[in-house]
Amino acid sequence: MKTKSYIFKGARVIDPKKKIDSVIDIGVSNGIFTDPKTLNNAEVINLKNKVLTPGFIDLHVHLRDPGGKDRETIETGTMAAAAGGFTTVVAMPNTSPVVDSTAAVEYLRRKAQKTAVVNVLPAAAITKNSEGKDMTGIGSFSKAGVVAVTDDGRCVQNSDLLLHVLEYAKTFNMPVLEHCEEDSLAENGHAHDGYWAAVNGLKGIPKSAEAIMVARDIALAKEAETTVHIQHVSADESVYLIRDAKKRGINVTAEVTPHHLSLTDDCIKNFDTRYKVNPPLRTETDRQALIEGLKDNTIDVIATDHAPHAETDKLKEFAYAPFGMIGLETAVPIVLTELYHRDVLSLSELVAKFTTGPAEVLRRDDLGTIEIGLQADLTVLDVEKEHAVNKHNFYSKSRNTPFNRKKVKGKAVCTVVGGEIVYSELEGLKGKI
């Protein structure tokens, strides 16, 4: 489908891959980036005092389809993504049933083609039913459009199996994303194994449960001479291990969530289940280590781990409530407030964590940059916009966020996918949703 032609003028354009940070015009025609000088009848969109970037990519999203449509659907999840400034999301496979076959992948792709308003890239399970026993058909996945394999929500405990997976996935250039958690240490845990878990009588999840598997995965990546990606890093020891591995030339990448960057385990002191996530919120020492890891590029990506739950599920006692919080519509305001406006990261450094970082993990040269001939995916930011998070205005079907009413500074105000304006808060410019 052909889309209108646009010239975006007056914005500060930031493209970390191209090392661009200046006010330039960006042209879009028929859904692709085009030299604006060749566009004669394009609609001119004035973006003075705004920031224009390549479309943001979320490497870690739970869309809950199939099996969880009461919590989220592909339609509502991608609408939330668009409202949050994301043009591409990677859908995690721990649905019901698990996305562990080409048939399940095809279902996801067809459903996304019909209902999604942003790009949905399917991830598939590493093992059948994510049980950690038998490897899935990684070779067939590569032909079916799968962009990565992961047993997210579970960690592959069998090291010999994971080594085989890494070696086999390498032949298909398939990224392997690992949820690092040693089961015997984390089993039946509900919160970080620290002061507040002890005071509240909750079984703790120690940092070592994560760090042990991070160390193992680094060793296996070295053995297989390939790359492993560590999902939702939460512990300081994990940061130290990843930093050391990179210094030694081992191919490892990592992501961190906005909630682990901005919250700590003292949030659970009142048994508030909105703060129950896995891996758990940890200490201020861990939070600062994560921030340092972002600053020195030990951690490559910020990803939401958007995990929708029904309100009734989160109203249970802490020990019985599910892990997870939503994040697609709060991620950008939270990190702009906590990282950019506090001079932790420059705007270009922050944008890279949502663009070039995830694109490199996925090994996709067609994402995360503004280049003539590529699909025109763009995110427009108003980094000075002050507002309060309002969960009642979310497009997501779920409301399980701890950030409701939080005062923040900065927001995505327009999202363009394939040359189509799908979300807009800009005056006089209407979005699809």
User: What are 102-134's pLDDT values in tens digits?
Assistant: 999 999 999 999 999 999 999 999 999 999 999
Active-site annotation holder among 152, 305, 377, 382: 305
User: What are 333-365's pLDDT values in tens digits?
Assistant: 999 999 999 999 999 999 999 999 999 999 999
Which H or E run includes 28? strand 26-29
Structural domain includes residue 432? no
pLDDT at 217 over 60: yes
- What CATH number corresponds to the domain at position 387? 2.30.40.10
Structural domain includes residue 369? no
User: What are 398-420's pLDDT values in tens digits?
Assistant: 999 999 999 999 999 999 999 99
Residue 249, C-beta contacts closer than 8 angstroms, at least 6 positions apart: none
Using alpha carbons, select from 119, 13, 110, 113 the residue that is nearest to residue 57: 119
What percent of the chain has a predicted confidence (pLDDT) above 70?
A: 100
- What CATH number corresponds to the domain at position 353? 3.20.20.140
At residue 82 the predicted structure's pLDDT band, cuts being 50, 70 and 90, is: very high
One domain for residues 194 and 246: yes
One domain for residues 44 and 82: no
One domain for residues 160 and 23: no
pLDDT at 83 over 60: yes
At residue 261 the predicted structure's pLDDT band, cuts being 50, 70 and 90, is: very high
Structural domain includes residue 429? no
Structural domain includes residue 430? no
One domain for residues 182 and 60: yes
One domain for residues 109 and 31: no
Cα–Cα distance for residue pair 363/355, rounded to 1 Å: 12
Cα–Cα distance for residue pair 395/138, rounded to 1 Å: 34
Structural domain includes residue 36? yes
pLDDT at 219 over 60: yes
Indicate the angle between helix axes 236-247 and 284-295, nearest 10 degrees: 30
Count of structural domains within the chain: 2
Active site (annotated) includes residue 305? yes
Structural domain includes residue 293? yes
**Domain residue limits at 379:** 6-51+375-424
What percent of the chain has a predicted confidence (pLDDT) above 90?
A: 99
pTM above 0.85, yes or no: yes
User: What are 293-324's pLDDT values in tens digits?
Assistant: 999 999 999 999 999 999 999 999 999 999 99
Residue 205, C-beta contacts closer than 8 angstroms, at least 6 positions apart: 181, 185, 186, 189, 190, 191, 192, 193, 278, 279, 280
Given 327, 362, 397, the domain boundary residue is 362
pLDDT at 64 over 90: yes
One domain for residues 164 and 83: yes
pLDDT at 266 over 70: yes
User: What are 144-156's pLDDT values in tens digits?
Assistant: 999 999 999 999 9
Q: Which two tokens stand for residue 233?
A: 């890093």
Q: Which two tokens stand for residue 417?
A: 């996918």
Given 337, 362, 387, the domain boundary residue is 362
Residues in the chain: 433
Structural domain includes residue 162? yes
One domain for residues 139 and 263: yes
Given 331, 362, 393, the domain boundary residue is 362
Using alpha carbons, select from 255, 278, 283 the residue that is nearest to residue 267: 283
One domain for residues 159 and 16: no
Residue 39 has a CB neighbour count (10 Å cut-off) of 17
One domain for residues 280 and 399: no
Give the residue-averaged pLDDT of 188-210: 98
Peptide bond into 322 cis (omega under 30): no
Give the residue-averaged pLDDT of 86-94: 98
Using left for φ > 0, alpha for ψ between -120 and 50, and beta otherwise, residue 264 falls in beta
DSSP 286-299: HHHHHHHHHHTTSS
pLDDT at 1 over 80: no
At residue 2 the predicted structure's pLDDT band, cuts being 50, 70 and 90, is: low
Q: Write down the H helix ranges in 301-355.
A: 311-314, 331-335, 347-354
One domain for residues 200 and 150: yes
One domain for residues 418 and 319: no
Give the residue-averaged pLDDT of 192-207: 98
Structural domain includes residue 210? yes
One domain for residues 38 and 72: no
